[in-house]
Structures are given as C-alpha cells and as structure tokens.
C-alpha cells in the first residue's frame, strides 16, 4: 500500500470518510432508508463515532451536503403565523438565505446538482425530507395532495433561485426582495393551499 504523502490518519480523515460514505448512502437509499449504521459500516468506523462527530442523522445529512443552513432552525418561524400568508413568508425566507453570505454555498450546491446525478439526488432528498415535508406537516395539508403541492411549490422556488442567482435575468436578478415576495409569494401560496381545478 502506498502511504499518501502529507496526510496522516486522524480525526479529519475519519470525518471525511464518514461524510463520503454518508453522501453515497443518502444518494443511493434516500434519506429515510439510510441508517447511521450503514454509513458507519461503509466508512469502516463504529456508529458511535458517527454520532459523536455529527449528532443526528439530520445533522449528518446537512453536513454531507455542505448545507449552509439548517431548515429545522429556520422553517418554524416561516411556517407559523397566518396560514394564508405562508407563501409570502417562505419566499421571504428563501430570498433571505440566498441574499446572505450563505447564498454562495446555495448557488454552488444548485449548480452541482444540475450537472451531477448524485448531487441531484441529495438535493432532492434535502428538499423533500428537510423542507417540503416540514412545510406540509406544519400547514396541515391534505396527505394525498401534499406530495404534488409541495413539488409544485418547489418548481416556483427553485425557478426563482435559478433566474435570480444563476441565470441572472433582469429585472429579477437585482429586484428588491420584498417586490419579489409580493410577486412570487401568492403563486407559492396557491400551490400550498388553494383549490387547483383540473389537478385534484
């Protein structure tokens, strides 16, 4: 075996192995079916060590994606309050994150997901299990309608991010955030809670 120069076994290598195994397992099995045990097995470490370094499965998932934010910390405030304004609050939250220093990491993640099937799977799992599932539960959306409603919401929010931050189509690219909240919020609200004739 060739010892790689300049690197020694240690915490950083172990953490890196766990993160690589986590990306692989989360992408292959999806978030729900991935287990800390399987990830530890792939990384060749004890499951207790995974918990020690990363805490919960959610935290490990966020770390493996280099997520700049933790939706479990940010979503509750956006989701509480009048139900008929949840769309506005969600768009405001998303723009707040992307317009902040964390936005650069979000752009990098989105770009990578566009060109790499594995990152696309991870991003899909992230959006579905960490964002949409919480939104649907908190807003009390009909269980049968929830998957389509939340994926429709994702079309509008992903598109806003792509056009504003990646393709940079004006005037959306440099519009004031509150103008976009007023413009796009009602479309998100429609997907969340309005009647959708011809759909359901």
Residue 54 or 191 having the CB closest to a copy of itself: 191
Judge residue 29's burial from the number of C-beta atoms within 10 Å of its C-beta, 0-12 exposed, 13-18 middle, 19 or more buried: middle
| Contact status, residue 61 vs residue 167, Cβ threshold 8 Å | no
Residue 50 or 123 having the CB closest to a copy of itself: 123
> Shortest distance, CB of residue 147 to a copy of itself, whole angstroms?
5
Q: Cβ of 26: how many Cβ atoms within 10 Å?
A: 25
What are the distances in angstroms from CA 199 to CA 13, 150, 194, 195, 196?
A: 50, 13, 11, 9, 6
Residue among 60, 97, 106, 160 that touches a copy of itself (CB under 8 A): 160
Q: Which of residues 163-192 bind a copy of itself (CB under 8 A)?
A: 163-164, 166-172, 175, 178-179, 181-184, 186-187, 190-191
Q: Which of residues 82-141 bind a copy of itself (CB under 8 A)?
A: 110-111, 113-115, 120, 123-124, 127-128
Q: Which of residues 3-42 bind a copy of itself (CB under 8 A)?
A: none
> Shortest distance, CB of residue 106 to a copy of itself, whole angstroms?
13
d(CA 179, CA 197): 28
User: Which phi and psi angles does 46 have, rounded to 5°?
Assistant: -75, 135
143 binds a copy of itself (CB under 8 A): no
List interacting residues with a copy of itself (CB under 8 A). 110-111, 113-115, 120, 123-124, 127-128, 147-148, 151-152, 154-160, 162-164, 166-172, 175, 178-179, 181-184, 186-187, 190-191, 196-199
């Amino acid at each position: 075996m060739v010892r790689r120069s300049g690197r020694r076994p240690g915490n950083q290598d172990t953490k890196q192995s766990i993160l690589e195994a986590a990306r692989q397992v989360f992408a292959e099995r999806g978030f729900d079916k991935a287990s800390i045990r399987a990830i530890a097995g792939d990384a060749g470490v004890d499951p207790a060590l995974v918990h020690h370094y990363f805490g919960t499965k959610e935290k490990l998932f966020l770390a493996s994606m280099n997520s700049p934010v933790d939706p479990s910390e940010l979503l509750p405030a956006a989701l509480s309050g009048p139900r008929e304004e949840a769309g506005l609050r969600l768009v405001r939250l998303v723009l707040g994150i992307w317009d902040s220093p964390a936005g650069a990491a979000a752009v990098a993640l989105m770009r990578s997901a566009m060109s790499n099937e594995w990152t696309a799977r991870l991003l899909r799992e992230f959006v579905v299990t960490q964002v949409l599932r919480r939104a649907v539960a908190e807003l009390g959306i009909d269980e049968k309608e929830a998957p389509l409603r939340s994926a429709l919401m994702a079309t509008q929010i992903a598109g806003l991010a792509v056009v504003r931050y990646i393709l940079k189509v004006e005037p959306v690219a440099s519009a004031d955030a509150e103008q976009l909240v007023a413009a796009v919020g009602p479309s998100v609200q429609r997907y969340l809670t309005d009647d959708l004739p011809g759909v359901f």
